[in-house]
Structure 1
Amino acid sequence: MILYELIDFDTLRVIWWALLGVLLIGFALTDGFDMGVGALLPFVARSDVERRVAINTVGPVWEGNQVWFILGGGAIFAAWPPLYAVSFSGFYLAMFVVLAAFIVRPVAFKYRSKRDSATWRTCWDWALFAGGAVPALLFGVAVGNVLLGVPFHLTPDLMPMYDGNFAMKFLGLLRPFALLSGVVSLSMLLMHGAAWLTLKTDGMVAIRARAIGTVAGMVAAGAYALAGLWLAFGVDGFAFTSEVVANGPSNPLYSEVARGGSWLSAYAERPWIAIAPLMGFVGIAMAVRGLREGFEVSTLLWSKLGIFGIIASVGLTMFPFILPSTVDPDSSLTVWDASSSHRTLFIMLVVTAIFMPLILAYTSWVYKVLWGKVTEDDVTANSHSVY
């Protein structure tokens, strides 16, 4: 109880905003290379043996990596209920496509090797491609739409309402800036998948991964820079026009918000956040260098730094906004008015402090056990393995 009283409501809100970012970044850093390998599969591996090598680099770990996605969704549901309600209803069709891709992926892992038919296996290989490329693209599109703002408003009883018909909830997300954000996401995860393959494979698979990953990294850096310029000169930001009450009620309609200016004004107000995009560019540049020079462990670590910086730059640029509204800025969801109660956030923090170290310890142990390269001899010696 003493600790509960010491941690203010506004402090807990910021802690959970940061923890949500950590969970989403953790998902991108781990399951990101799974998606990248899947999207690269038809291009880095030409023969059946090569494809089995690539698949076996991620087959044993993808389920554990996806825990971060589940934790992120659970954290949104428990810590930010309005965000969960608005985003999961407004992005319903896009999330359905993502979930369908995530369902196809494990099915492809399990069924691919059940028959020796080349046609059968090729179909499942393209299913693995879709299971990696589609979510990687749509996650970026979603982030782009968050920066642009979403056409929803809240009724007086806080029920979210969307403009447009059911189909437009998906087609309306495919705006040019959002698609550019999708290119950033897809290309950086292709680079990440390539970095993973260079660490876990050798031979032609690794050589092709280095070549494709180098191009993907350059595309990611260029698209990220272009997105920054577009954000500075072509996208309106959001700002409070009323007094900010950091420990006020969890009611988005409690504050007044206006649209205008630039999101990048945050860098004038908080110059220290410039470290995030700097990490993004440096991480990508060094990962590209590592891919070209044939480095392995350092390349993957630099790739992780680049992804961390890119995703962190979005959250830091938008803070304290989480999901802005284009049709009614006052309905915009922010850190200060879209959270669960003080007690709920505190209980969740205690649970997280207990179980997060266990998850990290177990994950570290798994990667230690599975350390080493997957070779063609490994997969040919066990032709009837699951993968």
Structure 2
Amino acid sequence: MMDYSTLKIIWWLLVGVLLIGFAIMDGHDMGVGTLLPFVGRNDVERRVVINTVGPHWDGNQVWFITGGGAIFAAWPLVYATAFSGFYWAMLVVLWALFFRPVGFDYRSKIHNATWRSTWDWGLFIGGSVPPLIFGVAFGNLLQGVPFQFDAYLVSTYSGNFWQLLNPFALLAGVVSSAMITMQGGAYLAHRTEGVIQERTIKAATGAAWLMVAAFVGAGFWLQSIEGYRITSTIDMNALPDPLSKTVVREAGAWMRNYTQQPLLWLLPGLAVAGALVTSLLLRLRYTLSAFVTSSLALVGVIGTAGASMFPFVMPSSSMPNASLTVWDSASSQLTLSLMFWATVIFMPLIIGYTSWAYSVMRGKVTAAYIRENDHAAY
């Protein structure tokens, strides 16, 4: 069995991988949903857009479910505290996601313009709201969340839903929304042709530039925000006890890891370069390469957030010493070990069947295909 501290680091990395997998895989079909009402101008064009992701969207949800399950099992204190503090925000995400399965399954069952248009906007809500909320949540994590623990490690959240919608968090929401729209646009451009592809490329290029502007702006803003720093001795092998340390807040603390490890600057560099190269490749019609570089940009954005906060996972603004970190909020060594080996077995299976599904259903989705397969297509 691996030592406890190593397992804690491994699961910090694995949760990051799952978040990145969710952003890349479920993110591109959410991005397609966001673009749906704008790049499809009539019923056939919108069915073309929907059919690029229709066969895959539910399989991509595996990343979302697995990510949530991994947080629950690996960081139970984080899961309990986050879902308590962000309760209404998570409900908004859940309500928005309701539109996706119903919209994909029932949108084209009835030949009625009002019915179909309603579900098109439902799919737009299901694709655009979750990335915005997730970005706002990360923006709040970087500022600290108002929660505290009592002696029995029962958490109390003292904020409210409207406090989550602060300016920095909304800017982080713009970063998240723009990068997911870019990701969806790169995928949609690869799967379509003609006027739909032209409109998609314009939209995805705009999203890429917006992501870069918002990401760079958030980076400069972050330097003036009070970050968190542990000032006491850290026992990396200790059992979960977030109250056993001392934490201070100071401006620029989130930049400390970049000062100590300059190679971490490659992550924000990857985010910016990936988005800019994506916009160029889309203009040149290298759509598959654009999807790859867009995915790398997502790796850069999420990696930047993780590297900035490490070892913090969920800082507390009302009781800094109660901040949850990689070292003091993880499950037991046995739990982390069993989960690790389960991941080693099942992760390749997930990647394998996903790759097979995309290889079987590759190629362009065209208006002619929709007309010829009116009852089979979405």
TM band (smaller chain): over 0.9
Secondary structure (helix, strand or coil) at the match of 2:108 reads helix
1:304 and 2:295 matched: yes
2:246 to 250, 253, 256: 256
1:24 and 2:19 matched: yes
Q: Deviations over 1:276-335 (max 9, x none)?
A: 111111110100111222211100000000011101110011100000000000000000
Q: CA RMSD in A?
A: 0.8
2:37 to 42, 54, 67: 42
Output aligned runs, 1:103-122, within 5 Å. 103-122=98-117
2:91: which partner in 1?
Answer: 96
Secondary structure (helix, strand or coil) at the match of 1:158 reads coil
* Cα distance in 2 between the residues matched to 1:253 and 1:200: 51
Secondary structure (helix, strand or coil) at the match of 2:229 reads strand
TM-score between the two structures when normalised by the length of structure 2: 0.98
1:265, CA displacement in angstroms? Answer: 1.8
Deviation larger for 79-88 or 240-249: 240-249
Give yes or no for contact 2:26–2:57 (8 Å, CA) kept in 1.
yes
Structure 2: segments with no counterpart, 5+ residues: none
2:274: which partner in 1?
Answer: 283
1:144 to 136, 139, 142: 139
Deviation larger for 320-329 or 273-282: 273-282
2:3 to 2, 8, 16: 8
1:52: which partner in 2?
Answer: 47
* Cα distance in 1 between the residues matched to 2:350 and 2:203: 33
Give yes or no for contact 2:32–2:181 (8 Å, CA) kept in 1.
yes
Percent of residue pairs bearing the same amino acid type: 51
Give yes or no for contact 2:73–2:331 (8 Å, CA) kept in 1.
yes
1:157: which partner in 2?
Answer: 152
Give yes or no for contact 2:51–2:377 (8 Å, CA) kept in 1.
no
1:245 to 235, 249, 257: 235
2:204 to 190, 208, 213: 213
* CA pair 314-267 structure 1, distance change in 2 beyond 3 A: same
Deviation larger for 262-271 or 18-27: 262-271
1:385, CA displacement in angstroms? Answer: 2.7
1:100, CA displacement in angstroms? Answer: 1.1
Secondary structure (helix, strand or coil) at the match of 2:305 reads helix
The letter of the residue matching 2:86 is F
The letter of the residue matching 1:173 is L
1:66 and 2:61 matched: yes
The letter of the residue matching 1:58 is V
1:78, CA displacement in angstroms? Answer: 0.5
Secondary structure (helix, strand or coil) at the match of 1:113 reads coil
1:321: which partner in 2?
Answer: 312
Give yes or no for contact 1:202–1:373 (8 Å, CA) kept in 2.
yes
Secondary structure (helix, strand or coil) at the match of 1:258 reads strand
TM-score between the two structures when normalised by the length of structure 1: 0.96
2:351: which partner in 1?
Answer: 360
Give yes or no for contact 1:109–1:386 (8 Å, CA) kept in 2.
no
1:261, CA displacement in angstroms? Answer: 3.0
* Cα distance in 2 between the residues matched to 1:194 and 1:347: 38
1:386, CA displacement in angstroms? Answer: 5.0
Secondary structure (helix, strand or coil) at the match of 1:345 reads helix
Q: Deviations over 1:135-178 (max 9, x none)?
A: 111111011011111000011100010114xxx2x211101000
Give yes or no for contact 2:370–2:377 (8 Å, CA) kept in 1.
no
- Kindly report structure 1 stretches of 4+ aligned residues shifted beyond 4 Å: none
